[in-house]
Structure 1
Amino acid sequence: MARFHLNWRKLLTWTLLLALAAGGYYYWRQQQIEPAAARYRTAPVERGDITQTVSANGTLNPVVLVSVGTQVSGTVRRIYADFNERVRQGEVLAELDPSLIEAQLAQSRAALANAEASLRLAEANEQRARALYAKDYIARAELDQARQALETARGQVASARAQMARDRTNLGYTVIRSPVSGVVVSRDVDVGQTVAASFQTPTLFKIAQDLRRMQIDTSVAEADIGSVRVGQPARFTVDAFPNRQFQGVVRQIRLNPTIQQNVVTYNVVIGVDNPEEILLPGMTAFVTIVVEQHRNVLRVPNAALRFRPAAADDEGERRPAEARRTGGTTVYRLEGERLTPVSIRTGITDNRHTEVLAGALRPGDRLVVADLSAKKQERNQGSRFRVGF
């Protein structure tokens, strides 16, 4: 009797253990089999505008920036223009000490006077020799010598006059005048400084012709330059006014490439109106060029184009291959509790949405953009890995 009672208690214990194990397994399976709506994150297919852009950085510069230099050497005696001053064309900006050039001009005048005196003597000798030769008092050779002396004297006079004109011109170069009307953006000399124009022309001033018209010199990568065209609109911001957006237009695409560390870029010039003159030369501009814009088109989120299910069936594996062969891609539509691959052909993108040119999609379709259960498993595995250590 005691043995029967003991066996009954063991049977009851094992029955309870099996029931608890079965219940635990059932609960675990129910946790593993999540509804598709809870397992996947989706986003709708919708209609809207898509603007494809190209981004680049550049520097603001005046459209015309003139470097004013000097053709003669000397010491700066006076300066009449300073930073940010407006000047007119022909206005005096600075003066160099003219003492040496004035001395050279005086020497040239003396040389010219000497040459003219020699010319008058040569003319008198030539006339005298011609009269004597007419009366057969001198030989033909003496007449030719007199004529040759006259031509030499005339050449010396011409040379002396040219030298005097050169010195007079150099004297005029000691007065530095503005070649254009504009604003002085740079002054590189001070009173008493010596400038030497022997090998290259030194820059004394830089004048921006009109700060109301500016340009941005940007560097666009070769991968994006094919979609940039003259006349396309552009938007840009500067650090000085972070909450304000300015407008511009692509004015020129320069064909001369720049290669740095095997990266090829092209200079794209953006024309900018600056009526308030708040944009200053040298500012860094963050430019967005609008290369194409489509309105009220069917569009899908870019995350849906990147999504691929963890375990795709044969049909799901075959369709992406077909989409690649036809130049399209595959997205996955959530229909009830199953994923349906849909092949589409895409158009332009704004890095958030992509235009759908062809495919069996309609506004309102839910496309899968992420698998939440896969991310949850990754987090769990990471937690177990950290706990194990």
Structure 2
Amino acid sequence: MVRRVTVIVGVLAIGLAIAGYVFFNGERKPPVRYRTVPVERGTLISLVTATGTINPITTIQVGSQVSGMIESLHADFNSSVKAGQVVARIDPFPYQARRDQAAASLANTKAAFDKAQIEQAQKRRELDRAKALIGQQFVSQNEVDVALTAYEGAVAQVKVTQAAVKQAEAMLQAAELDLKYTVIRSPVDGVVISRQVEVGQRISASFSIPTLFLIAEKVTKMQVDTNVSEADIGGVAEGKDASFTVDAYPGEVFHGRVRQVRNAPINVQNVVTYDVVVECENPGFRLKPGMTANVSIVVAKRDQALKVPTAALRFTPPTQAKSGGNTPPASMGRRRVLWRQGVDQELEAVTVEVGISDGAYAEVVTPDLNEGDAVVIGLDAQRGERKGAELPPGFGGGQRGSRRDRGL
């Protein structure tokens, strides 16, 4: 009997010990800990990022207004040219022949004009003689009328030949102009970006002007054509500072300024963007046309702004998320709720108005928050928890080694 009581008491003692261990160690939850950061003051810069292409500010297409065979080229890729400099010549022989033909035709019409004037003078004399003789009744009235008609015909012939002279002069001017167009000259100072013809190639200007060269004017200045989304275009305006990088020069930042915000929308698969032109300096022609640029446009800048990490604006305490609580909602337009940890480690809700943001930090405006206050950005790891990889063997939670590892 005594032995049985002893066994029962021992079993009860062991059970109580296990229950106590489980109660005080297994079921006790460690306190919730929060990760906090201090509120800071500093400079905030809000940026709009976009991708664009570098282009010359002005690109001139140099073409030919006459058809013919390319006789010679006087410029090539990357050639620096001046305004009026000869860059190509078209075979001038056909146009010289047309010019000579037009000159001969003009000389012929001038001779005809001179002859018509002489005939007009003769008809005038005959008319005057007939009028003088009719008074003496040496000629009839019919002869006077015939002389008058002949004189009027001579006057009309003078006008016809005079118009023919003007027409011949215009044809000669056109022929000389076509001959002049056989010499292709650069209209501006710049650099040849592209040459699209070869010597001996025949070009035709029947329906459109063929392009011979592409010349970039003022290559010391370039522009970046970027596409900014409609959600970001509201903060972009002419005169805003901008910076960009290109793959050709890693780590180097180029600076420019917004020169134009074009109002024409660009719709690609229902995505609306707007062309923003950024002008920049290009000493030494380091930036080449067609390079891809990653552009950042400064939309707003604040000095000595009260700022917090954006994670603090997104944080909600676990108990508040489960129960709903009585605090204001986390988002109310530009107003947000921050959680500040007081001296007693308790959380306090602080309503702030959010200003500009650079993606990592955001400006907050409120009289209830001061520099150095600790705001919560997330939950800290529970100290009482043990990771599965740190559990003793046989308690599970960790990944079992592969067969190859166990074999080794």
- Following superposition of structure 1 onto structure 2, how do residues 58-137 of structure 1 map, counting pairs within 5 Å? 58-136=52-130, 137=144
Q: Which moved more, 1:208-217 or 1:138-147?
A: 138-147
| Overall identity of the aligned pairs, in % | 39
**Partner residue, 1:45:** 39
Give the stretch that moved more between structures: 162-171 or 18-27.
18-27
Cα separation, 2, equivalents of 1:133 and 1:217: 80
Q: Which amino acid letter does the alignment assign opposite residue 332 of structure 1?
A: W
1:274–1:369: structure 2 CA closer, same or farther, 3 Å change rule? same
In the alignment, which residue of structure 2 is the partner of 1:260?
A: 268
Matching residue within 305, 313, 338 for 1:297:
305
The DSSP-based 3-state class of the residue aligned with 1:135 is: helix
Indicate conservation of the 8 Å contact 2:229/2:272, yes or no.
Answer: yes
Q: Which residue of 2 aligns with 1:18?
A: 16
Counterparts of 1:280-359 in structure 2 under 5 Å? 280-312=288-320, 317-321=325-329, 324-325=331-332, 327-335=334-342, 336-359=344-367
Distance 1:316 1:47 in 2: 32
Bigger radius of gyration: 2
Deviation at 1:113, TM superposition (A): 2.2
How far apart are residue 160 of structure 1 and its match?
A: 1.0
Q: C-alpha offsets along residues 4-57 of structure 1, whole Å, 9 cap, x if unaligned?
A: 422431332133123212312321233x223x4xx3222221111101111111
Bigger CA drift: 330-339 or 279-288? Answer: 330-339
Aligned to 1:207: 215
SS of the residue 1:355 aligns to: strand
Which amino acid is the alignment partner of residue 272 of structure 2?
A: V
Whole-angstrom CA distance in 2 between matches of 1:192 and 1:154: 43
Q: How many residues align?
A: 375
Residue 89 of structure 1 contacts residue 180 of structure 1 at CA under 8 Å; is this kept in 2? yes
Superposition map of 1:81-230 within 5 A:
81-136=75-130, 137=144, 138-230=146-238
**Distance in 1 of aligned mates of 2:321 and 2:159:** 106
> In structure 2, how many angstroms separate the alpha carbons of the residues matched to 1:306 and 1:330?
9
Q: Which residue of 2 is the match for residue 33 of structure 1?
A: 30
Q: Which amino acid aligns with 1:177?
A: R
What are structure 2's unaligned runs of at least 5 residues?
A: 131-143, 389-395, 401-408
Query: TM-score when scaled to structure 2?
Result: 0.85
Question: Structure 2 CA distance, aligned partners of 1:10 and 1:196?
Answer: 115
Distance in 1 of aligned mates of 2:362 and 2:282: 35
Q: Following TM superposition, by how much is the alpha carbon of 1:273 offset from its aligned partner in structure 2, in angstroms?
A: 1.1
Query: CA 1:106 to 1:368, structure 2 compared with 1: closer, same or farther past 3 Å?
Result: same
* Residues 71-80 or 145-154, more deviating: 145-154
Gaps of 5+ in 1: none
Say whether the 8 Å CA contact 1:345–1:359 is kept in structure 2.
no
Q: Distance in 2 between matches of 1:69 and 1:349?
A: 50
1:342 & 1:157 partners in 2: Cα distance?
94
Q: Is the partner of 1:18 in helix, strand or coil?
A: helix
Q: 1:162 to 1:333 in 2, by over 3 A?
A: same
Distance in 1 separating the partners of 2:249 and 2:72: 38
Q: Normalising to structure 1: TM-score of the pair?
A: 0.89
User: Which amino acid in the other structure matches residue 377 of structure 2?
Assistant: V
- Note if contact 1:53-1:350 (Cα within 8 Å) is conserved in structure 2: yes
In structure 2, distance between residues paired with 1:206 and 1:325: 55
Contact 1:233/1:290 (8 A) holds in 2: yes
Within the candidate set 2, 5, 25, 2:3 is matched to 5
**SS of 1:226's equivalent?**
helix
- Post-superposition Cα deviations, 1:224-247, rounded to whole Å, max 9, x if no partner, equal 111112211111111111111111
